[in-house]
A and B are shown apart, each in its own frame.
Chain A
Amino acid sequence: MIRRIANNLHIMHNLYFFWALLAIPAVFMILRYLGDPETAFDLIHPSGELSVRLMIIAMMVSPLRQLFGRRGWTDWLLKRRRAMGVAAFGYALLHLVFYLIDMAVWEQIVKDAMIFSIWTGYIAFAIFAVMALTSNDSAMRMLRANWKRLQRFVYAAAILTALHWVYVDGEWRGALIHFIPLAALEIARVAHIFTKRSRSAAQAEAVT
Chain B
Amino acid sequence: MKFSQALMAIAAATAMQVAVAEPAHATGKIKCEAGPQSGWVSREKLEAELKAKGWKIKKSKVDGGCYEVYGTTPEGDRVEAYFHPVTMEKLLVSRRGKVIFRKKG
Residues of A within 8 A of B (CB): 38, 41-42, 67, 102-103, 105, 107-108, 111-112, 115-118, 167-171, 173, 176-177, 180-181, 183-185, 187-189, 191-192, 195
Q: Which of A67, A112, A195 contacts B96 (CB 8 A)?
A: A112
At the interface, yes or no: B52 with Cβ under 8 Å from chain A? no
Contact sample, A vs B, 27 pairs, CB 8 Å cutoff: A41-B58, A67-B4, A105-B76, A115-B96, A115-B97, A117-B96, A117-B98, A167-B96, A168-B97, A169-B27, A169-B97, A170-B27, A170-B94, A171-B27, A171-B29, A173-B22, A176-B18, A177-B15, A177-B18, A180-B15, A181-B12, A185-B8, A188-B3, A188-B4, A191-B3, A192-B1, A192-B4
Q: Which of A115, A177, A180, A188 contacts B95 (CB 8 A)?
A: A115
Residues of B within 8 A of A (CB): 1, 3-4, 7-8, 10-12, 14-15, 18-19, 22, 27-29, 58-59, 70, 76-78, 94-98
Query: Closest CB-CB distance, B91 to chain A, in whole Å?
Result: 14
Majority secondary structure, A binding face: helix
Query: Closest CB-CB distance, B20 to chain A, in whole Å?
Result: 11
Query: Closest CB-CB distance, A123 to chain B, in whole Å?
Result: 15
Q: Are B95 and A112 neighbours in the complex by a CB distance under 8 Å? A: yes
Q: Are A180 and B11 neighbours in the complex by a CB distance under 8 Å? A: yes
- Residue among B12, B22, B97 with most chain A CB within 10 A: B97
> Closest A-chain residue to B27, C-beta based?
A171
The interface residues of chain B lying within 8 Å CB-to-CB of A111 are 77
Q: Are A41 and B98 neighbours in the complex by a CB distance under 8 Å? A: no
Majority secondary structure, B binding face: mixed
Q: Are B4 and A168 neighbours in the complex by a CB distance under 8 Å? A: no
Q: Are B58 and A118 neighbours in the complex by a CB distance under 8 Å? A: no
Docked pose: A184 CA to B9 CA in angstroms: 10
The interface residues of chain A lying within 8 Å CB-to-CB of B1 are 67, 192
> Closest A-chain residue to B72, C-beta based?
A108
The interface residues of chain B lying within 8 Å CB-to-CB of A116 are 97-98
The interface residues of chain B lying within 8 Å CB-to-CB of A176 are 15, 18
